[in-house]
Amino acid sequence: MIYRPVVKDAKIVKSSKANDSFEVAVTLQDSAKCKLFVQLVNGELKPSSINRLQNVPCPICRKDYYCNCMERCIDEVFEQSVGLIQVPTV
């Protein structure tokens, strides 16, 4: 079964001008929350890593402790989040 994340909400919670990186708080349709790290590379946003917050069991493997499942759908989460966040202009 392929898990398809649906991003309900995404907002920048932290930004670092020094290395043009942003920390994005993402809430998924199934109420799982993630922290997505994105970076501005040559004027283009790229996902660098994602962490699942342990507010609910993992929607993929159902574990309620640390797992790496979200790494597999980082691109999908990123693509959906980009439309929702407002990147501060430098």
Binding site for Zn ion (CB under 5 A): 58, 60-61, 67, 69
* Closest CB 23 distance from Zn ion, rounded Å: 21
Q: Judged by CB, which is closer to Zn ion: 6, or 61?
A: 61
Closest CB to Zn ion among 16 and 68?
68
| Gap between the Cα atoms of 40 and 27, Å rounded | 22
CB closer to Zn ion, 27 vs 39:
27
* DSSP state at residue 85: -
Token pair 């962490």 is at which residue?
A: 51
Backbone angles phi, psi at 19, to 5 degrees: -125, 20
Smallest separation, CB 68 to Zn ion (Å): 7
Minimum CB separation from Zn ion for residue 59, in Å? 8
The helix (H) or strand (E) run that includes residue 10 is: strand 7-16
